[in-house]
Every structure is written in structure tokens, then in C-alpha cells.
Amino acid sequence: SVLDESISWNDSKLQPTIQRLMKGYNRYLRPNFNQGPVEIGMSLDIASIDAISEINMVLFKSTIFLRQRWRDSRLVFPGNESLSLDGRLVSLLWIPDTFIPDSKHSFLHDVTVENRLIRIFSNGTVLYALRITATVACNMDLTKYPMDRQDCTLQLESWGYNLQDVVFYWTRGNDSVKGLDTLRLAQYSVESYYTTVSEAVYETGFYPKLVLHFSLRRNVLFFILETYVPSTLLVVLSWVSFWISQSSVPARTCIENICYKTFLAIDVYLGICFTFIFGALLEYACAHFCTMQHQTIVDVQRVRNQFEESNGTTHLANSMSPKMMQTEESTQQETPEQSVTCEGNEATDKKKEKGCGLSSVKQMSRRAASMMSVENPNNIDRNARVFFPMVFLLVNIFYWLYYLLF
């Protein structure tokens, strides 16, 4: 073992002070053994936070410098100097068993050697620093993505020593954490952070715990340029069909198909855009149907006029008085079943009741058709040119107010 190798070293390989300190030192026993817990102060330097994964919704990767301080009375030596030891000598000393409970994968940097620092002060204080990279879990709430705000934590706990053996504390409170103020992230910015001291409760006892809380707010400008602007332009492109003639079916449907095929999948806003694009398709279907219906009525009227002119009925109709024309038209329109009145006693013939029922059904169908018919189908497109942009603007106002303010 390293301890056995250190004992067998020649005196020339160790300074006299280190040699005296290591004499009789037992690294398996914590400081203040049977005399109370060891107080360990900690501080962090956050070098980077990257590789935030929305796919897993739980992970972020961070490189930190972790510094731990404690006092070991067995390492007191005279003078005011401090001793900086090689990082490989850390195995000769007792060190805390600090770990990150939410870490999924962590490693200690070892280029060119293990990035560890050991410094011993004359009063027995030990400074132990190391550089590690940890992939830490963070429960992310993406309901407001990409205008979301994520609250994450970085926790430090003792693995085997409970509160009766070890006590953790931040050396300078919130100032114990450095680097977050100047940290630059690709999609996020650090909004705030603070530190707390807590304890972890397990079946084996109560253990010390330090927590760094920090809030990340996503930079929405990137998503505005990449997603919101293209989606809005696609919706506006679908409105171009309102200015295209209703008889140009390929031109209007081609624009709608382009909008649909390039549609992206992103939460509520893209759903709104899809709704308006689909609404433009429905608007064209309605306008085209009304146009065809109107054209059919015009064609039927034209054929009827031509037929009446060919049989000389026009001159006869002009010579009749208005009352006679009205009587004639009502006589031609009524069928034998329609002329049957619905009034009478309960013993009225079944045929008359059937005729009365058919008459009312036909009258209702005529009224419904007259209500659904549009005198000028071109008005549908004219109204859509104003209605769709106004509604889309109102929906955008409510959307941005809700997700930015709440």
C-alpha cells in the first residue's frame, strides 16, 4: 500500500517536518476522534455548466473546483509557514468522504496528474482542493419551453460519517460560490443562486448536507429566430391564398400543402400556427363550395330564361297583372300534397297527414338552404383577409403575456 511505501522511504525523500508529522499518524481515524465532530468548511468555483439535456429532462454537466478545509490537531507544527504537498500524498492523510448524491457520472481530472491539492498550515488546518466534472440530475419543468425557468441544485453530502462525526458548513455563506456571476451558457443565463445548510436523513442516520441552489432562465431569442419567426411566416404565407382567385384550385392548395409539410413540432405556439393554417384550408373549402353553389344557381336561372324565351312564355307573363302572376306562380309551385291543409279533426286521412309532413320538411329545407347561401362568395375571402390576421394578433398577445408574466 501507499502507506507502507511511505514508511519505507528514506529520510532524504521527505522533509523533516513532514517526516515528524507522519510519524505515528493514523489516516484511518478522523480528527477529534472521541472528542466531537470535525467541522469541514467548503467552497466552490463553478468553471462551467454545459451539456444541459432536455431530451432526458434531468441532466446537466458541470466542472467545479471543490475546496474543503478542516483542522487536524495531529498535524500542528511550529512556525507560521504552510506546507504544499504533492497530490499523490493525499493517500497518507485522512480526508472527508464527500460525494454528490444526484451525480449520474463523475470523474476526477488527471491530466497531466490527478488535479488535487494538499496544503497543511502550522495550526493543523488542512486545505484539500480537487477538480471534478459531474453529470448531475435536475428535475426540469418544460411546460413553458422555451420560455422556461429551471431551478437546479448541487448537493454535497458525507457518505459514511454522520452528524456525530462530521459537520459541513459554507466557509463564506453565499460568497463561498464563485463563477456563476460570470458564467456564459449557450441557451441559459444564471438568474440567481444561494446556498443552504441542511441534513440528509437515511435509515442509517442523519448526515451533513450542503446545497447550492441556482436558477437558469432560457434565452428565448434563439428560439424566436429559429422557430417563432418561421412559424409566423408560414401562417402569413397561408393568408396569401385569400388574394388568389377561387377558381385557381392548384395555386391555393399548393400554398397550404407547403405550410403543412414544413411545419415543426414545438408546443403550444406551433399548435396555434397549425390551427390557423388548417383554418385557411377550411376557409378556402367553404368559399369554393359557396362559389360553386352560386354558379349553379346562375346557370340554372340562365337555362330557365332561355327555355321560357324559346316557348314564348315571357310575353305572356308580361301581359298578366301582378296578382295573376303571383297566383300563377303559387299554383305552379304547389303540388297536390302541398295544397292539403293541416287543419282538421283527428280523423283526417293518413295521406293528407303525410302530405302535410312532407310540405313542412320541404319548407324547412328551403329555409335552411336560403340561410346557408351566400349572395356574393367573394365576400368570404374579403372578410378572411381581416379576420384571420386580427385573431392571430390577439392570440399572440395572450400567448406572450401568459408565458412571459406567469
pLDDT digits (tens, 9 = 90+) for 123-161: 999 999 999 999 998 888 888 888 888 899 999 999 999
3-class SS at 47?
strand
* pLDDT exceeds cutoff 70 at 365: no
The reported pLDDT for the residue numbered 154 is 94
> Cα 131 vs. chain centroid, distance in angstroms?
33
Between the CA atoms of 240, 242, 245 and 251, what dihedral angle is there, to the nearest 10 degrees? 40
DSSP 86: P
Compute the 3-state secondary structure of the chain and give helix, strand, coil in percent, each to the nearest 5: 45, 25, 30
Domains of the chain, earliest start first: 16-218 (2.70.170.10), 220-246+265-299+371-405 (1.20.58.390)
Query: How far apart are the C-alpha atoms of 397 and 394, rounded to whole Å?
Result: 5
Helix spans in 262-349 (H): 267-310, 313-319, 322-333
Query: How far apart are the C-alpha atoms of 39 and 127, rounded to whole Å?
Result: 13
The reported pLDDT for the residue numbered 152 is 92
Residue 397 CB coordination number (10 Å): 10
Query: How far apart are the C-alpha atoms of 185 and 149, rounded to whole Å?
Result: 14
Sign of CA dihedral 142, 143, 144, 149: negative
Query: How far apart are the C-alpha atoms of 191 and 185, rounded to whole Å?
Result: 12
Q: What percent of the chain has pLDDT over 90?
A: 30
- Express each pLDDT in 317-341 by its tens digit: 455 444 444 544 444 444 444 444 4
Helix axes 267-310, 378-405, angle to 10 degrees: 170
3-class SS at 77?
coil
Query: How far apart are the C-alpha atoms of 125 and 404, rounded to whole Å?
Result: 50
3-class SS at 254?
helix
Which stretch of DSSP H or E encloses residue 84? strand 82-85
Higher pLDDT, 293 or 269: 269
The reported pLDDT for the residue numbered 344 is 47
Query: How far apart are the C-alpha atoms of 44 and 98, rounded to whole Å?
Result: 13
Query: How far apart are the C-alpha atoms of 294 and 376, rounded to whole Å?
Result: 8
* pLDDT exceeds cutoff 80 at 237: no
The three cell numbers of residue 262 are 414544413
Residue range 105-127: mean pLDDT, rounded: 92
Tell me the whole-structure pTM to 2 decimals.
0.62
